Amino acid sequence: MWTRKLKIEGMTCSSCALGIEDKINVLEGVEITVSYPEGIGLLVVTGSISYETLIEIIEDKGYRISEIDIEKIEVSQPEFPDNGRQLHVAIVGTGSAAFACAIKAVENGAKVTLIERSSIIGGTCVNIGCVPSKIMIRAAHIVHQQKSHHFAGIKKNQPIIDRKQLLAQQQTRVDELRAAKYESILASHPNINLVKGNARFKNVNTLIVEQGQGGKIEIEADRFLIATGASANIPAISGLSEAPYWTSTEALQSEQLPDHLIVIGSSIIALELAQAYLRLGSKVTLLSRHSLLYREDSDIGLSLHKILVKEGMTILDHTQAETVSYKKGLFGSGKFSVKATNGSVIKGDKLLIATGRVANTNSLQVEQAGITMDKAGRIVIDDHMRTNIEHIYAAGDCTNQPQFVYVAAAAGTRAAINMTGGNAVLDLTAMPAVMFTEPQMATVGLTESEAKLKHIKTESRLLGLENVPRALANFETQGFVKLVIEEHTRRLIGAQILAPEAGEMIQTAVLAIRHQMKIEDLAGQLFPYLTMVEAIKLCAQTFNKDVKELSCCAG
């Protein structure tokens, strides 16, 4: 293992540094960290690739390299405490961030203690979040296709739905994935130990784990990762605390389809579950404090509102719940009554609260370790996943990072690298986000309004799906692709998509932004014909031509 410190000339912005890192860090046994302001790169090599080859790769991008440290410097393994004693990492939580950290830390020579307060491991995504929700959404899609497809000559029908069978199948797949992706990892990694109980900090180096019936143990460690996730945020609505409302957990685990579901919320979880229940046969009324998805590009919320209303959903924009009451009925039934700020009273048999999620940090007593939190109770971390305490890290939904499982997993891996002597950064400048309604929403980068706040002059184009051959062939033309570019560089800086399969399409835009592609370069790429992702190429072409004047698969 060796390292060299390089002077890199010719970089013009921080994106140049990221470009060099992207080019080099995909190579096996090689890692480079580049600082644009200093013009410095730290090259660490554990593999067999030659120094000359690496320099050639970097200079091929137009940069000039000179060495600051001429001599090869042997790099030791991470410093383990007490004369080589194995580094001990304690992780609070067992979700995606926790397991990603545990696996990488063990690979790098550490031993790991995982601490979990729940009776099952795996966190939100596999158990009560991503996986079960996507199964339910897909089932609802099949129902909708049977009764509302657009193809002549195929008889539509109203399917008979057995919710208990659907739920049993859903839970079986959840159990299978938890066993494959979590439980089996514990069984196959002797250096990962699981402790059950509620963890809290005693001091900066020690956790106390309450194990029930008065039992508790203390765990001392060299490094800590807080990965406790988040839970449903419950708003302060009069009467709500006395009512048997649903969060997303109960909505995904219910054996019954309500006749009328009232949904309070207007973001991703609220809209995904509201549409799923609508398609499975429930009447759905949704109360939105603002407009739908008001933090996203306004075209998305406006278009999706029209689509959902056309499908049968009642949406009350700019409406809040003032009071909630619940009247019990026979055999466990009952009725909710929600009085809204517009004066209306909505009655239904189930009430779903989907107003965001809050970090699970209340019971950790982080003040005992001096860890900084923000006003929302989230742990503040930097791009290396470090808290303000040098040896304590955090990752996932309990932090001030975006609440996406792939962000959590990436953060967990990088935290482990940094804990064990590495230097890994999580760059979120090209982070995709997806919502699995139909049509799906997918975004990356900046919207026009966000760019304006950053004083970036932009151009944008919006292409309706009626201009996309695959959408026409599918008879599914509701939605659009919108691309945003920086005016003077012509580089793509943002994409907003509302379309079937938007989640599959968005990665093309992610890579284009990541690699600083100009819109003309994107428009000139080869895209397979009669695919939905071709809509990105067509939208890119509209910056310089009228796509209506092109042949169906024009290059």
Residues 479, 328: contact at Cβ < 8 Å?
no
Question: Which pLDDT band, with edges at 50, 70 and 90, does 228 fall under?
Answer: very high
User: What pLDDT, on a 0 to 100 scale, did the predictor assign at position 310?
Assistant: 97
pLDDT at 1 over 60: no
pLDDT tier, 31 (very low <50, low <70, confident <90, very high otherwise): confident
Q: Give the DSSP letter string of 258-308.
A: -SEEEEE--SHHHHHHHHHHHHHT-EEEEE-SSSTTTTS-HHHHHHHHHHH
Give pLDDT, residue 75.
Answer: 32
Q: Is the pLDDT of residue 84 over 70?
A: no
Point out the residues that are catalytic: 11, 13, 16, 63, 125, 130, 552-553
C-alpha separations of 435 from 31, 143, 449, 520 in Å: 34, 19, 20, 28
What does pLDDT average to over the chain?
A: 92
What was the pLDDT predicted at 555? 65
- What's the whole-model pTM score? 0.84
d(CA 135, CA 455) in angstroms, rounded, equals 42
pLDDT classification of 55: cutoffs 50, 70, 90:
confident
By residue count, the chain amounts to 555
CATH code of the domain occupying 433-549: 3.30.390.30
Residue 521 has pLDDT above 50, yes or no: yes
Q: Give whichever of 6-15, 41-50, 298-307 has the largest mean pLDDT.
A: 298-307
**Helices 51-59 + 14-25 axis angle, to 10:** 140
Confidence band, pLDDT 50/70/90 cuts, at residue 58: confident
> Would you kindly state where each structural domain of the chain is located, as residue ranges?
2-74, 85-232+359-419, 240-355, 433-549
* pLDDT exceeds cutoff 80 at 73: no
Per-residue pLDDT at 16 exceeds 90 = no
Q: Does domain 240-355 have CATH number 3.50.50.60?
A: yes
Question: If you average pLDDT over residues 521-527, what whole number do you get?
Answer: 96
Mean pLDDT, residues 118-147: 97
pLDDT digits (tens, 9 = 90+) for 292-306: 999 999 999 999 999
Note the pLDDT of residue 333: 80
Question: Does the pLDDT at position 282 exceed 70?
Answer: yes
240-269: per-residue pLDDT in tens?
Answer: 999 999 999 999 999 999 999 999 999 999
Rounded average pLDDT over 517-531 = 96
CATH architecture, domain 85-232+359-419: 3-Layer(bba) Sandwich (3.50)
Same fold yes or no, 2-74 and 433-549:
no
Residue-wise pLDDT tens digits, 161-174 = 999 999 999 999 99
Looking at 3.10.180.10, 3.40.50.150, 3.30.70.100, 1.10.10.10, the CATH number of the domain 2-74 comes to 3.30.70.100
Q: Residue range 97-126: average pLDDT?
A: 97
Q: Are 254 and 343 in contact (CB under 8 A)?
A: no
From 420, 421, 412, select the one nearest 94 (Cα to Cα).
412
Lowest mean pLDDT among 15-29, 361-375, 519-533: 15-29
- Could you write out the DSSP letters of every residue in 352-388? EE-S-EEES-GGG-GGGTT--B-TTSPBP--TT-B-S
Return the pLDDT at 74. Answer: 34
Q: Judge whether residue 41 has pLDDT over 90.
A: no
Stretch 380-407: mean pLDDT: 96
